[in-house]
Amino acid sequence: MAVVLESLARLSVLVFVVSSMFGMGLALTVAQILEPLRNRRRVAVALLANSALVPLLAYVILLVVPLSEAQSVGLILLATAAGAPFLPKLVEAAKGNLAFGVGLMVLLMVVTVAYVPVVLPALLPGVRVDPLDIASSLVVLMLTPLAIGLVVKARYEETADSIQPAVNQAASTALVLLVVLMLVLNYQTVLDVIGTGAIAALLAFVVGSFALGWVLGGSAAEDRSAMGLGTAQRNVSAALVVGATLMLVVLLPLGGELGKRTGSRGDASEAGE
């Protein structure tokens, strides 16, 4: 049963990432993405906040709050993965600069594809990862659906408008299903986290990231809210893709090694008998 649930969880990750990126492309135009990025200073500050200051914040939190290895890796993944597809909705709800929010989201997402494969091996020295594997996964599962959505929006706008709600619904459903499956598969881990430093670390990370974006967002409240939300809302899609890649890279060799050791012990036991 657990194997079936794990397969469903992996499928949910795939559906969520692809559909959310495709839906984003169906809702945007290239002009909408590029217009807010003409302000070079604002772009530079956004990149500084998300590529340097947020990972530094995560590192400081890990120095202060004792976390398990898995929890530490999860926080680092979130810190390096920027450009969340939910950002425009959050900025719209906050009555921020929506155009800037859209451009910031796509800018950070594209940067994440190039940034994570280079930086992650340095931040996780004990984990061996192939940057090309991570980059190819992000490109295939994130940038390609986004590009297809943009093309459909540009050439067949009516079709894009008609199917976008269904695509967004598919992404939302897949995310809810994924959360439920992860809770079922890891309920004991979730219970163990309660009362530990993991929740405090995550709250400190989110609040600290928002504060960094807000302070660096400029003088206009609309820009500050967009920058703050864009810095605090991490790209769960990218983190899931990279996390899945890390699990395969790390756990498959580990499983083989454990199998060898188990086999050696079994042979030794039989010899002793």
Give residue 151's pLDDT: 95
Give residue 249's pLDDT: 47
Give residue 273's pLDDT: 56
Give residue 96's pLDDT: 84
Give residue 200's pLDDT: 87
Query: Ramachandran region of residue 195, left (φ > 0), alpha (ψ -120 to 50) or beta?
Result: left
What is the full DSSP assignment across 104-128? HHHHHHHHHHHHHHHHHHHH-TTS-
Q: How far apart are CA 263 and CA 257, in angstroms?
A: 10
Q: How far apart are CA 137 and CA 17, in angstroms?
A: 11
Q: Which residue has the tokens 């302070």?
A: 215
Give residue 205's pLDDT: 93
Global model pTM greater than 0.75 = no
Q: What domains lie within the chain, and their CATH numbers?
A: 2-264 (1.20.1530.20)
Question: For each of the chain's 273 residues, which pLDDT tens digit applies?
Answer: 777 888 888 888 888 888 888 988 898 888 877 877 788 888 899 999 999 999 999 999 999 988 887 788 888 888 988 887 778 777 877 888 877 887 888 888 888 888 888 888 788 776 666 667 767 777 788 789 989 999 999 999 999 999 999 998 998 898 889 888 888 877 776 666 666 778 888 889 999 999 999 999 888 888 899 999 999 988 776 777 776 666 544 444 444 444 555 455 555 555 555
Q: How far apart are CA 211 and CA 54, in angstroms?
A: 10
Give residue 8's pLDDT: 87
